[in-house]
Amino acid sequence: MVTREQYERLARHLHDDGRPRIEMTFAEVSRMIGEPLPASASEHPAWWGTDPGHTQAVWLDVGYTARPNLTAERVVFERVDPQEGR
């Protein structure tokens, strides 16, 4: 089971990169957190959602949303304009 601390590696990466749009493969995200993503990440777009109660939704903490392409196994993290909200 992946811990919140492991997902926070992804948050630090997004924060440090800082670009408005960051595209990653699911494999790159897995390498970043040090564990394979759960099957639900490849099967359910909601896994990449905007519920801050989800352990993995660390991208919200650093001002990004996630748009997955399950077929291509890629995700685009997009910076949220703080004036627009989430």
SS3 1: coil
Q: What are the extents of the domains in the chain? A: 4-79
pLDDT tens per residue across span 63-74? 999 999 999 999
Report CA torsion sign: 74, 59, 62, 51: positive
Distance CA 49, CA 53 (A): 10
- pTM assigned to the model: 0.89
Query: What confidence tens digit (pLDDT) does each residue in 18-42 have?
Result: 999 999 999 999 999 999 999 999 9
